[in-house]
């Protein structure tokens, strides 16, 4: 049965675009919010009012739409689940008066991430010396590697505790034989056993659950984690994550069929940021970059690391649009550019004096490109109290319209601040 009841919100750059805010804003229109890929390496920040008190929430594993009552959250089979992080987030919500109760459903097929995966992650990263990728050291890669190597454990394995213990110990011993580390599993296993009954209550065949919900006319919002240029296949490899944050990962990571697909919303910052190593063609290693970092609070919500900042990159974003088929874009943090005299947009890459028509796979090529820029005047006024397109300064409108033309994709949502209400919804965008 076909429907258009599935809406996707996906990162279109290197992550940290502000996906959580749009998820939070759109969630009341939906019945279910789901995660399909990634783990506690994601960090989605939401500013919400609870009992008339403004609060800041940072989600790593839970779908960020769970701040809304009556919304069901789903952690899909494509995610990796670190149980202490899950319970820390649940407890934080509970302390703020947000009760999850039976509103969370976790795939029976989700991979379990253990503490020794984090040790392996750090060991692998340290061994690379100056060539470190910049991993969050949250164990994401080693957990996905166990899954691909068919030695990992899944949530459904908790149904038989003795078998779970046996497989856990066998996997740990295998890793210890390779990486030569000492590890006492007692604390971790005791914790898992203490939460086992609760986890089995939340465990669900989420692929079937989502299929039945969509078939019954319920609306599902898919909350992407990470972003297109961090995709293991299509991103700036090897400086990527270990899953597929592009559109294909949505379907394999949930079991949802594409026949239900409606809107595909790409989230892009008004400028570029990147955490960790890897080529960054428009990077600003000067006072302007530092100004954007400071005003924009560009520090990782997962690691706290300072983000590298640069001008908006149209060739990179066009590549992301091609991969994901975005029907519209959410341009975030436009207000961070308020004080700039002029703003640049990267419009093309050149390599060996030849204009590149495709985004390069080879990182040496990407690092060597010469960037062509357009310069637009800034607007030099605060946007934070603006609530409509008509109220935007002419130069801010020109910037948005130029991006829209360069990208050939409508910009429907414009973020002008952190709060839920600080967003402009356009009805007259490019179509």
From 24, 31, 44, 205, the catalytic residue: 44
Say if residues 253 and 76 touch (Cβ distance below 8 Å).
yes
> 431 falls in which pLDDT band (50, 70, 90)?
low
Residue 273: what pLDDT? 97
Residue 307 is encoded by which pair of tokens? 């983000």
Phi, psi at 179, each rounded to 5°: -100, -10
Strand ranges in 154-232 using DSSP code E only, listed in sequence order: 203-204, 220-223
Q: Give percent above pLDDT 90 in the chain.
A: 83
Residue 302: what pLDDT? 67
Indicate whether 340 pLDDT > 70.
Answer: yes
Domains of the chain: 6-107+203-264 (3.40.440.10), 111-198 (1.10.300.10), 267-425 (3.90.170.10)
Say if residues 403 and 396 touch (Cβ distance below 8 Å).
no
- DSSP letter for 329, please: E
Rounded distance, CA 383 to CA 413, Å? 14
DSSP-derived secondary structure for 81-138: E-HHHHHHHHHHHHHTT---TT-EEEETTPEE--HHHHHHHHHHHHTTGGG-----SS
Range with lowest mean pLDDT among 79-93, 123-137, 305-319, 356-370: 123-137
Output the pTM of the full model.
0.94
Indicate whether 45 pLDDT > 90.
Answer: no
Average pLDDT (409-422) is 95
Say if residues 276 and 230 touch (Cβ distance below 8 Å).
no
Is 44 one of the catalytic residues?
Answer: yes
Say if residues 147 and 114 touch (Cβ distance below 8 Å).
no
Rounded distance, CA 313 to CA 378, Å? 17
Residue 350: what pLDDT? 99
Mean pLDDT for the chain? 94
- Is the sign of the CA dihedral 67, 71, 75, 81 positive or negative? positive
Residue 125: what pLDDT? 81
Is 16 one of the catalytic residues?
Answer: yes
**Nearest-CA neighbor of 67 among 41, 40, 44, 85?**
44
pLDDT digits (tens, 9 = 90+) for 251-275: 999 999 999 999 999 999 999 999 9
Range with lowest mean pLDDT among 11-25, 35-49, 85-99: 35-49
pLDDT digits (tens, 9 = 90+) for 87-145: 999 999 999 989 898 999 999 999 999 999 999 988 888 777 776 666 778 899 999 99
Write the CA distances from 86 to 104, 198, 200, 221, 317, integer angstroms: 11, 12, 14, 20, 32
Indicate whether 1 pLDDT > 70.
Answer: no
Cross-strand bridge partners of residue 59: 44
């Amino acid at each position: 049965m076909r429907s258009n009841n599935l809406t996707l919100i996906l990162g279109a750059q290197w992550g940290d675009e502000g996906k959580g805010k749009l998820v939070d804003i759109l969630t009341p229109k939906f019945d279910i919010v789901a995660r399909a890929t990634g783990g506690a390496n994601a960090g989605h920040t939401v500013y919400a009012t609870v009992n008339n008190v403004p609060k800041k929430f940072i989600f790593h594993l839970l779908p960020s739409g769970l701040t809304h009552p009556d919304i069901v959250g789903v952690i899909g089979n494509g995610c990796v689940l670190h149980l202490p992080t899950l319970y820390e987030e649940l407890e934080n919500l509970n302390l703020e008066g947000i009760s999850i109760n039976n509103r969370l459903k976790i795939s029976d097929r989700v991979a379990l991430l253990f503490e020794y995966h984090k040790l392996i992650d750090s060991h692998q990263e340290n061994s690379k010396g100056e060539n470190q990728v910049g991993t969050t050291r949250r164990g994401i890669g080693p957990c996905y590697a166990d899954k691909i190597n068919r030695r990992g454990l899944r949530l459904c394995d908790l149904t038989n505790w003795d078998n779970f213990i046996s497989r856990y110990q066998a996997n740990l011993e295998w890793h210890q034989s390779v990486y030569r580390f000492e590890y006492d599993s007692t604390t971790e296993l005791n914790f898992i056993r203490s939460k086992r009954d609760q986890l089995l209550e939340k465990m669900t065949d989420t692929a079937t659950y989502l299929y039945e919900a969509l078939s019954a006319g319920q609306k599902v919002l898919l909350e992407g984690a990470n972003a297109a240029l961090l995709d293991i296949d299509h991103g700036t490899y090897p400086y990527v994550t270990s899953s597929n944050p592009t559109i294909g990962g949505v379907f394999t990571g949930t079991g949802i069929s594409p026949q239900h697909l409606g809107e595909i919303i790409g989230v892009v910052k008004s400028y570029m940021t990147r955490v960790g190593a890897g080529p960054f063609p428009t990077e600003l290693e000067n006072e302007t970059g530092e100004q954007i970092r400071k005003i924009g609070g560009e520090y990782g919500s997962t690691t706290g690391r300072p983000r590298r900042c640069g001008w908006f990159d149209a060739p990179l974003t066009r590549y992301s649009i091609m991969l994901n088929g975005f029907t519209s874009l959410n341009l975030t943090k436009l207000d961070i550019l308020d004080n700039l005299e002029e703003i640049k947009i990267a419009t093309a890459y050149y390599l060996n004096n030849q204009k590149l028509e495709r985004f390069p796979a080879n990182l040496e090529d990407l690092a060597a490109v010469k960037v062509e820029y357009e310069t637009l005047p800034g607007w030099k006024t605060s946007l934070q109290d603006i609530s409509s397109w008509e109220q935007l300064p002419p130069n801010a409108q020109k910037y948005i319209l130029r991006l829209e033309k360069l990208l050939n994709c409508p910009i429907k949502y414009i973020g002008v601040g952190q709060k839920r209400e600080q967003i402009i919804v356009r009805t007259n965008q490019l179509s």
